[in-house]
Amino acid sequence: DTGVSQDPRHKITKRGQNVTFRCDPISEHNRLYWYRQTLGQGPEFLTYFQNEAQLEKSRLLSDRFSAERPKGSFSTLEIQRTEQGDSAMYLCASSEVDTQYFGPGTRLTVL
Amino acid sequence: AQSVSQHNHHVILSEAASLELGCNYSYGGTVNLFWYVQYPGQHLQLLLKYFSGDPLVKGIKGFEAEFIKSKFSFNLRKPSVQWSDTAEYFCAVNPSGTYKYIFGTGTRLKVLA
């Protein structure tokens, strides 16, 4: 068990560009979560997948954000037309039931 | 709006001191409650959780938390902290019937050797 992995670990982009992050959960975990964390704040829930189905999405999430989990294994989070306010740590977590295992995160900086 | 409050943002203690970190949430229905910890350079990991039953739950490394429904609180305690407890601690709430987890802003604990 190698844990939850995320790629890339760091991403610097210019405002207006699109970015995509990948999360590989622990292999037997069917639940997958995306969070965003800014400095001095706790993780903010973005979306939840059970297998390939996206069952919950934060109302705070703008239309520029989209997430997929096409085969119920890895997941991608895409941000279109990035803004400086999107700069944050993007965390992925997976679980079998209720204990979430977090990945190291992808730190996004939008210039 | 549903929220989780952690009033202590920074706590500094000497080794062997007792610890209590506050967590209050605003949600009128049934909730599942969690404490997560992030040690320096490591990922967030579960410390303990409460779903139902005995409101006093025990977690790893000697931590415990008490759910007081009337106060909407789930405070974290440890009778005697160690230097290795230096970390950031997050309280989280999962309203029953949802998949959403709401985290507090975290408490940075520094334990002096």
A19 CA to chain B: closest CA distance, Å? 23
CA B104 to chain centre: 9
- Nearest chain A residue (CA) to B93: A45
Torsion of CA B106, B110, B111, B113, to 10 degrees: 160
Residues 67-86 of A with CB under 8 A from B: none
- CB contact B31 to A (< 8 Å): no
Question: Are B60 and B49 a contacting pair, CB within 8 Å?
Answer: no
Question: Are B9 and B21 a contacting pair, CB within 8 Å?
Answer: no
Determine if residue B77 is left, alpha or beta; phi over 0 gives left, psi from -120 to 50 gives alpha, anything else beta: beta
Q: Is the pLDDT of residue A1 over 70?
A: no
Q: Percent of chain B beyond pLDDT 90? A: 91
Q: Counting beta carbons within 10 angstroms of the beta carbon of residue A7, is it exposed (0 to 12), middle (13 to 18) or buried (19 or more)?
A: middle
Q: Do B43 and A43 touch (CB under 8 A)?
A: no
Question: Are A8 and A20 a contacting pair, CB within 8 Å?
Answer: no
Q: Is the pLDDT of residue A62 over 70?
A: yes
Q: Do A56 and B90 touch (CB under 8 A)?
A: no
**pLDDT, tens digit, 9 for 90 and up, residues B58-105:** 999 999 999 999 999 999 999 999 999 999 999 999 998 899 999 999
Question: Are B5 and B24 a contacting pair, CB within 8 Å?
Answer: yes
Q: Is the pLDDT of residue A99 over 60?
A: yes
**pLDDT, tens digit, 9 for 90 and up, residues A2-61:** 799 999 999 999 999 999 999 999 998 999 999 999 998 999 999 999 999 999 999 877
Residues of A in contact with B92 (CB under 8 A): 42
